[in-house]
Chains A and B, each alone.
Chain A
Amino acid sequence: MYNNTIKLIITSTLILILTGCAGRAALLPGETPPMHTVSEFSDDENVSRTHDPWEGLNRSMYKFNYEADRFVFIPVVSGYETVVPRFARTGVSNFFANIREVRTFYNSILQAKGKSSLVTLGRFLTNSTIGIGGLFDPATAFGWRQEHEDFDRTLETWGVDTGPYLVLPILGPNTARSAAGLAVDGGVRWAIMSAIDPFGGTGARTEINMGTIALETVDLRHRESFRYYDSDYPFEYYMVRYLSSQERKLKILR
């Protein structure tokens, strides 16, 4: 998944350059002006401060994600939920959450968060051993709360601005900075996996890796209840954009 992320980002950047910005607000020749236009209400303070210069591309990507969900992910996820029993799904979620502790660990160090990095290290060691390779989560029962750190947060502490809003293929609402963060975290993970090469001796390394990526993707989608266009609200794109920026803000406060 994450190695693919890099490719996707490069592709989307290319598309961006090629398509430029969309959006038509002004009147085109031959159009009758509507009774009310936005210029009447320009004296009010804007609500969504999210910078979205790539809206045309973002809206197209939003639609792409909707189609991908509709034809691929949601059928797969509902099959997964029907076939795989609940305790096994929890095990899968725990397993991948445990792998992500590595990401939290090095990002906590990069942000000089001593306590968070120690808790995460403790969680990772506990869950990998007593929790049988991360399938169970005894660490939470011991009172070690799960921390969430990623390279996006690291960039934030280093003073990097979020950059414009960016809807990534499959991965959904992001910002330029969080997309870069995903790329870096994905790269680190790829590097670690290559160094350890856990499936090297099996003779089916590629297949196992692909299977793992697929399972993690299904797990991520299974745990995310959001469905594109499910609200049927014509302005859903803006609500999601606003809420995702609010969510980021609140996460930082936590």
Chain B
Amino acid sequence: MKIARSILIGVLLLIPAFVWADDATYRYPIDDSFAATILGTPQNLRPELKGELPIKTMVLETDLKKPEIFFYDHGLRYTVAFQDRKAPLIFLIAGTGGSSKSAKIVALMANLYHAGFHVIALPSPTFSNFIINASTTHVPGNLAEDADDLYRVMEQIWSQCKERIEVSHFHLAGYSLGGTEAAFVAKLDEERKVFDFRRVLMLNPALSLYNSVSRIEELLDRIPGGPRKMGAFYNRVMEKSTEFYRKGDFVAIDDDFLFAAYQAQILERDEVGGMIAVSFRISSAGMIFASDVMTRGGYVVPKNRELKNSDSLEDYFWTSLHLSFLDYFNEYFVPYFQSRQPGLTKEELIETLSLKSIEHYLASSTKIGVITNEDDFILASEELDYLRRVFGPRLKLYPRGGHLGNLEYSDNMAFLIDRLHSSTW
């Protein structure tokens, strides 16, 4: 009896201990979700990759006549890293405002190439180069239409590359908004079967575009004076950082400096969150401007103005920076789609911009999986519950890492590659 009781107590004690142990065996070191998002993974905790990455930028020429202000743009720029033998090929889709050479893409490319994949990376449909060259409407954000554009571009790229490489089968992955888009692209692929993807990975995706963007925008509400004072906020943060740099013996603004600044806690948590939102605004400013020029939307640039290369764009930059993604959504995006489809309400449109609109497909397709973090601030807790319900065992949830901060952590990378290799979850 006594023994039975102690066993019972032992078991009871073990249960929380076991749960806790699962968390504790995961050694990604940064607890704070904002800090993790900015700092990423320390160099020594990333997988060691030997050999060079033969990364090349390629151009998919488009015959569009471009506005003079985009004279430097010669077509859609994508990057490739090819094996010299038969191998599976993986397409990557960048997150909001990301080019095909953004840091996260290059990190994924390096690891996947090292693991034996051919890799082709595409910019985000919200990236100016994509808006100018590959977007049918030049109005990014409509997931189904963006997926259609992505699929067309992937087909064109494939026909450009297929002579040069031997491919056994295809995979697809995207991070952040690119992860959400990957799901829509996968669904298209079920009908068109050009690639017949074997595995589709969504890395830290948004469930609802509108909700996730709202959550990022809210980070600016917590800075003094709110979003309208982001210039002053940015200057203050830069001053603090410069001051810290001046006092310390740093060689450059590099990872070491950022980690030291984090450890010294020179910024308050709301300030770190504010900087994440500012960098998001910098991306969205490029998107708003490029789209407005391409559609002659009259949103920040006068409708009938032909911009010349020597014209100052500074005022447009400042204006676009101060417009939130939600301004863009309400004043530019919704009216555009309403003009194409009279009677469409804002709420209906928001619903189509969510994984929920393809829930049936996501729940039934065993090839698609989600990898994200419990503390990823672009997801609300009920959205995490939704992902748990729909994806079940095909959801891998790490206890921390913020938004993509742990992407390069060696455990994460090993898991990601393992999922691509294996045929079951």
Residue numbers of A with Cβ under 8 A of B are 22-25, 27-28, 30-38, 40-41, 43-47, 55-57, 59-60, 63, 66, 228-229, 231-235, 237-238, 246, 249-250, 253-254
Contact = CB atoms under 8 A, between A and B. Distances in A.
A235 B285 contact: yes
Interface string B233-252: 01100100010011000010
Contacts of B70: 234
A75 to B, nearest CB: 15
Contacts of A232: 73, 77, 99, 123, 127-129
A15 B323 CA distance: 37
A66 B290 CA distance: 20
Nearest to B232: A45
A44 B303 contact: no
Interface stretch (B19-27, B205-213, B265-273, B313-321): B313-321
B302 A60 contact: no
Contact of B312 (A27, A46, A55, A250): A55
B69 A41 contact: no
Contact of B99 (A33, A63, A231, A246): A231
B309 A37 contact: no
Given A24-B311, A228-B72, 20 more contacts: A22-B311, A31-B303, A32-B303, A34-B292, A35-B299, A35-B332, A37-B315, A40-B322, A41-B318, A41-B319, A56-B311, A59-B309, A60-B310, A63-B71, A231-B99, A233-B286, A234-B313, A235-B289, A238-B317, A250-B245
B313 A43 contact: no
Contacts of A33: 302
A34 B300 contact: yes
Interface of B: 69-73, 77, 99, 123, 127-129, 228-232, 234-235, 238, 242, 245-246, 251, 253, 285-286, 289-290, 292-293, 298-305, 308-319, 322-323, 327, 331-332
6 closest Cβ contacts across the A-B interface? A23-B312, A45-B232, A229-B72, A38-B315, A44-B231, A232-B129
Contacts of A24: 311-312
A42 to B, nearest CB: 9
A250 B242 contact: yes
12 contacts: A24-B312, A25-B315, A37-B319, A44-B231, A45-B232, A45-B235, A47-B235, A59-B311, A232-B129, A234-B313, A235-B285, A235-B313
B317 A36 contact: no
A32 B302 contact: yes
A72 to B, nearest CB: 16
Contact of B290 (A23, A228, A234, A238): A234
B319 A253 contact: no
A34 B322 contact: no
A231 B245 CA distance: 27
B286 A235 contact: yes
A213 to B, nearest CB: 28
Given A44-B230, A235-B286, A23 B311 contact: yes
B253 A250 contact: yes
Nearest to A60: B310
Contacts of B331: 35
Given A24-B312, A44-B228, A253-B245, A31 B235 contact: no
A234 B128 contact: yes
A28 B305 contact: yes
A105 to B, nearest CB: 23
A250 B251 CA distance: 10
A253 B234 CA distance: 20
A65 B380 CA distance: 47
Contacts of A37: 300, 315, 319
B289 A234 contact: yes
A32 B296 CA distance: 11
A228 B309 CA distance: 14
A235 B327 CA distance: 20
A233 B311 CA distance: 16
B300 A35 contact: yes
Contacts of A46: 231
Given A35-B299, A36-B300, A41 B322 contact: yes
Contacts of B129: 232
A229 B293 CA distance: 18
Which of B123, B129, B286, B301 is the most central at the interface, judged by chain A CB atoms within 10 Å of its CB? B286
A40 B331 CA distance: 16
B310 A22 contact: yes
Contact of B298 (A34, A56, A59): A34
Nearest to B73: A232
Contacts of B292: 34
Contacts of B316: 38, 235
A40 to B, nearest CB: 7
A80 to B, nearest CB: 18
Contacts of B314: 55, 238
A35 B231 CA distance: 21
Contacts of A45: 229, 231-232, 235
Which of A32, A63, A232, A249 is the most central at the interface, judged by chain B CB atoms within 10 Å of its CB? A232
Contacts of B253: 250
A62 B253 CA distance: 25
Contacts of B230: 44
Contacts of B72: 63, 66, 228-229
Nearest to B298: A34
Nearest to B302: A31
A44 B232 contact: yes
Nearest to A49: B235
A24 to B, nearest CB: 6
